[in-house]
Structure 1
Amino acid sequence: MEIGRLIRKRGLDVAVGKTSFYECDPDQKGCKPKYSDGAYAGFAYPGWAACMSACPFIVAGGSKRFVGLWAELGVHQITTTVTKTMVKYQTRYRIVKGKKKIVDTKIIGRRSTGTYKTTELSKGYRKRLNAYFNEMGVDAGIVAKMLSIPASDISILDHDELLNFRMTTGPGDVGDFSSASTCAQEPKPANCIELSAIVTK
């Protein structure tokens, strides 16, 4: 949620997309970066891009929010990992005029007594989720949708659901923010920068 708030504070737009690399993928053997700063050449592409689980919290932060027709946004229950810890304290006392007063307390031991996972949310945390989506201009009903889908499953929101929950602000996809023509505008958006290509001799 804090990432989403930071995005909104900066007035940034968000679209679901994936990177399609030119020539070769960075994880391919022998694939070398095209630019002197180590960047690989590619472009943002909406096809088969996926934003699942916690990702929709980030999308919600966008001033404009696009999920293209070939992109997917999915939600499910939130899983919390709870770790129980036993802590041992040592407390020193002093008797002053017949009354016991604490001098100091320090931790002398700590050990884990077990870990478990749960999808149950406290009323307070659910209230925080509702408040976050309301703050972002997204219908808080999306929280109920999330909690209705088992954590082991995922629900891909269809076009109507995206609009009804206001997860998207209108039609469009990542190409609206990242096409080459975007940087041909004057003045250029702040994210339009020119990289120096590696010159091979």
Structure 2
Amino acid sequence: FNGTEITPELIAQSRILYVGGYLLPPNLTSENLIEVFKMAREANVPTVLDVVTPTQKDYWDDIKSLMPYTDYFMPNDDEAQLLTGLTDPLDQARKLRDAGVETILITCGNQGTVVLSEQEEFRTRCFQVPYIDGTGSGDAFVAGFMHGLLNEASLLDCVVSGSALGASAVRAVGATTSVFTADELNEFISKQSLDAQPL
């Protein structure tokens, strides 16, 4: 897969364009992905970008070139540190926002999420659940966030949905063993709150 398989017709049939694990596929270049994201922007389809940093190397030029074409960028704090060279999640988020991304969300494990957009800057804590295994929790967060987007939720409610689904993933061994269904997610959120602290 190198991105050229994606056509305007495919994008026009989509409600979200999600690229997960970017930097891992060797043939998916930033130049190709920029063209795909440009097609999505022309079609008013929001783009969500997630990364995997497979080695300890400088990925900044790749990421920086993509940011102006990315609506939502969702690294964890370790990935963001490698990308930006900064250790504080808020500093990481500001550097990525300055690079042009519309909304940056940096997940920080049990420390919650840092969120910066043009309209809002806030931090949320995480839901408290019994922790067994963190495998898949980041992917579950992204899925929950996109669930919110597809339901036209506010940015905060999308983060709440992501945080809840991410929390559900850590309750058992395995990436998907304990991940909520949509009904379970909605029930969990209806019984618990997750406040935002302005930055």
Relative to the length of structure 1, the TM-score reads: 0.25
Greater helix share, 1 or 2?
A: 2
Higher gyration radius (CA): 1
Relative to the length of structure 2, the TM-score reads: 0.25
Greater strand share, 1 or 2?
A: 1
